[in-house]
Structure 1
Amino acid sequence: MTENADAGRGQRVPAYRRPGWFVVRVANPLMRWLGAASTLDVPRRITGTRQRVPVNILELDGQRYLVSVRGRTEWVRNLRAAGHCTVRHRGRHARYRAVEISGDPRERTLAAYRHRWGAGPVRRLLDELPDPADHPTFRLDPAE
């Protein structure tokens, strides 16, 4: 069933805020090149090629979390399908099993994420999509 079919049946369509040309073509590559953010490396659902996206990893109570402030992005869909990823930061990399969380744990994680990175574009995106269900959130467990 497609999202549009779901919407026609009264079910809520997951929100998504597409990044603009500047973010995709300039800001994200620059952040990856400078090492200013961690890079999520996840296999694409269809082709199996690697998708690399700058991300903010939240450390909370000894756990690592990944939050999609833009909603149901391609990396979210790819991570759900793969169930695992690699996170790279400043020449180091670690493999993780991704466990999607919901309910109270997601809301608590979102609150901590907003506190840590809730300025500028992150704040705007969280304000545009105020429902916690619009922000897929993953706990990153070390892969064995």
Structure 2
Amino acid sequence: MAYLKPSWFTKKLSSMMSASNIAERLTVTRRVSGGPQEVAVTTVVVEGVRYVLSTRGESQWVKNVRADPNVTLTINGESTAYTATEVPVGERAPIIAAFEPHFGKLIVGRYFVKLPDAADHPAFALVPRSA
């Protein structure tokens, strides 16, 4: 599976967004250290289900979610625990299409030109965990 490494500027911008309430933040458990990894994400709701998608491909957070699907999503300072379930490649098209209005053609288009196969964009359904 492919991965598009972010530039230094993109890493810094993402880090600043993660530190604020501007972006949604996904917290996952690192598979080696067991510590938390926090990444800025954008989620979409398709037919009542919330999804998160990796536009850059098989990133470290994707590998971490596969190892431990218990994640926390923080939106505007409010955190919710979820179980992430990977969406099969053949079912990703409507999810990928739903992301375009949120990211815009410039961002999604740029990544999808470089990684055109839906298999290169892991998507996860987020199901709230019971308290």
TM bracket (short chain): over 0.9
1:44 aligns to 2:27 (yes or no): no
TM-superposed CA distance for 1:131, in Å, is 0.3
- Is residue 16 of structure 1 aligned with residue 3 of structure 2? yes
Secondary structure (helix, strand or coil) at the match of 2:18 reads: helix
Q: CA deviation at 1:32?
A: 1.9
The offset of 1:17, in angstroms, is 0.3
Question: In the alignment, which of 88, 92, 95 is matched to residue 106 of structure 1?
Answer: 92
Specify the structure having the higher radius of gyration (Cα). 1
Q: Equivalent residue of 1:34, what SS? A: coil
Aligned counterpart, 1:126: 112
Superimposed CA distance per residue, residues 34-54 of structure 1 (whole angstroms, 9 cap, x where no aligned partner): 322100100100000110000
Amino acid corresponding to residue 88 of structure 2 in structure 1: S
Distance in 2, matches of 1:122 and 1:36, equals 19
Cα distance in structure 2, aligned partners of 1:37 and 1:138 = 18
RMSD: 1.3
Alignment partner for residue 48 of structure 2, among 62, 72, 78?
A: 62
Question: Could you say if the C-alpha distance between residues 113 and 32 of structure 1 is closer, same or farther in structure 2, counting changes exceeding 3 Å?
Answer: same
- Please give the secondary structure, in 1, of the residue aligned with 2:82: strand
Q: How much does 1:103 deviate? A: 3.5
Match of 2:60 in 1: 74
Pairing 1:133-144 to 2, within 5 Å after superposition: 133-144=119-130
SS at match of 2:19: helix
Mapped partners of 2:104, 2:128: distance in 1: 26
What code does the residue aligned with 1:136 have?
P
* Counterparts of 1:96 and 1:38, CA distance in 2: 14
Quick check: 1:32 aligned with 2:34? no
Amino acid at match of 1:127: V
Identity over the aligned pairs, expressed in percent? 36
Query: TM-score, normalization: structure 2?
Result: 0.92
